[in-house]
């Protein structure tokens, strides 16, 4: 009697876990982004035409795109936004060799201590250092940005629903207030110091458009033309990598593991059939 009860309990637990997984996966795949603003003109984020190379269960990193995205971050975004959870040595994941990483690190000034006086100072970065903040503290950051502290971008694509698409849409979503919005909501306005963006929940964003003209960042020969949309897609891909640098490796590991679990389940089922094939009919457990 004990064995059937244990089997039923285990089966019930397995069914509950499976239903929870299926329900969560379905919700994640089909859930619509709910606008946080009262205006219906807020748009759901979307990715570039053709999507990102890392999309889907079989996606891979486009290393050339990640390097372009890092260039966009370094030349444009780094003026206001930090990457405090990314170390210079992590750039090895973008295909940079040891010498290039050392040169990149040395091009930044990071906080240090003067060994002679013990006073705070700045020194060239080392591969083991993390990307420094462009501001010494939050007060200075707010003072330089109309009282809005620029967020750290290390985990931005994980902190936002459909993160890569959100970053791409936000960078390409600046523009004038649509006439239909002004007509339906005459009271709507963009205050001084804010900028209209249809992909930001309340439509008004404190960040000025960081990418304003095509060719703002000069790509090396052989790369796509640096249009605003291309640069936005590249930096969105780079920020996806900073948030989940092992995402592709995790997926690639997951498929063999899943195959092994399926194989092991089949073996366990066949072993169970073999073990119980000669059981005496009608036998009762003690």
Least confident of 75-89, 113-127, 129-143, 216-230: 113-127
Assign 13 a pLDDT band (cuts: 50, 70, 90): confident
92 burial class (0-12, 13-18, 19+ CB within 10 angstroms)? middle
pLDDT, tens digit (0-9, with 9 covering 90-100), for 130-170? 999 999 999 999 998 888 899 999 999 999 989 999 999 99
CA-based torsion, 179, 164, 209, 33: positive or negative: positive
**Residue 81 labelled as part of a binding site:** yes
User: Which one is the CATH code of 38-86+152-248: 3.40.1480.10, 3.30.450.20, 1.10.760.10, 3.30.70.1050?
Assistant: 1.10.760.10
Q: Break the chain into its structural domains and give their ranges.
A: 38-86+152-248
- How much is the average pLDDT of 201-210? 91
Backbone region of residue 51 per phi and psi (left: phi > 0; alpha: psi in -120 to 50; beta: other values): left
Instruction: Say whether pLDDT at 2 is over 80.
Output: no
What span, in angstroms and rounded, lies between the C-alpha atoms of 226 and 238? 15
Q: Are 36 and 201 in contact (CB under 8 A)?
A: yes
Instruction: Say whether pLDDT at 218 is over 50.
Output: yes
Q: Single out the residue of 164, 167, 166, 199 nearest to residue 59, CA to CA.
A: 164
Instruction: Say whether pLDDT at 36 is over 50.
Output: no
Instruction: Say whether pLDDT at 24 is over 90.
Output: no
Q: Single out the residue of 180, 151, 138, 172 nearest to residue 242, CA to CA.
A: 151
pLDDT of residue 1: 62
Assign 282 a pLDDT band (cuts: 50, 70, 90): low
Least confident of 73-82, 113-122, 161-170: 113-122
Segment holding 110, helix H or strand E: strand 109-113
pTM, full prediction: 0.80
What span, in angstroms and rounded, lies between the C-alpha atoms of 19 and 113? 55
As given in the structure block, the two tokens for residue 110 are 């990071």
Higher pLDDT, 223 or 117: 223
pLDDT of residue 212: 94
Instruction: Say whether pLDDT at 201 is over 90.
Output: no
b/e burial code for range 129-165 (CB count within 10 A of at least 16 → b): bbbbbebeeeeebeeebeeebbebbbbbbeebebbbb
pLDDT more than 90, % of the chain: 58
What span, in angstroms and rounded, lies between the C-alpha atoms of 147 and 168? 24
**Residue 80 labelled as part of a binding site:** yes
Assign 42 a pLDDT band (cuts: 50, 70, 90): confident
Give the list of residues 6+ apart from residue 111 with CB closer than 8 angstroms, or none.
120, 121, 122, 132
Which residues share a beta bridge with 124? 109
Assign 35 a pLDDT band (cuts: 50, 70, 90): very low
What span, in angstroms and rounded, lies between the C-alpha atoms of 8 and 6? 5
Rg value, the chain, Cα:
26
Backbone region of residue 44 per phi and psi (left: phi > 0; alpha: psi in -120 to 50; beta: other values): beta
pLDDT of residue 37: 45
């Amino acid at each position: 009697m004990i064995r059937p009860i244990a089997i039923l309990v285990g089966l019930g637990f397995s069914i509950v876990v499976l239903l929870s997984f299926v329900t969560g996966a379905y919700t994640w795949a089909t859930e619509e982004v709910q606008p946080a603003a009262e205006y219906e003109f807020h748009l759901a984020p979307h990715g570039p035409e053709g999507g990102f190379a890392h999309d889907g269960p079989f996606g891979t990193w486009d290393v050339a795109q990640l390097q372009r995205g890092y260039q966009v971050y370094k030349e444009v975004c780094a003026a206001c936004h930090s990457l405090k959870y990314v170390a210079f040595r992590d750039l090895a994941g973008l295909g940079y060799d040891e010498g290039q990483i050392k040169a990149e690190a040395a091009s930044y000034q990071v906080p240090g201590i003067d060994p002679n006086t013990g006073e705070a100072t700045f020194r060239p970065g080392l591969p083991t250092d993390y990307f420094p903040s462009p501001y010494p503290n939050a007060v200075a950051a707010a003072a330089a940005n109309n009282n809005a502290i620029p967020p750290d971008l290390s985990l931005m694509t994980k902190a936002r629903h459909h993160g890569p698409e959100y970053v791409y849409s936000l960078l390409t979503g600046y523009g004038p207030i649509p006439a239909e919005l002004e007509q339906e909501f005459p009271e709507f306005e963009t205050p001084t110091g804010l900028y209209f963006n249809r992909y930001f929940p309340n439509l008004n964003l404190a960040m000025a458009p960081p990418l304003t003209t095509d060719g703002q960042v000069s790509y090396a020969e052989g790369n796509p033309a640096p249009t605003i949309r291309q640069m936005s897609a590249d930096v969105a891909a780079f920020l996806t990598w900073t948030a989940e640098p092992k995402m592709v490796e995790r997926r690639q590991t997951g498929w063999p593991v899943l195959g092994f679990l399926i194989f092991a389940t089949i073996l366990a089922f066949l072993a169970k059939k073999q073990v119980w094939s000669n059981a005496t009919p009608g036998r009762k457990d003690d």
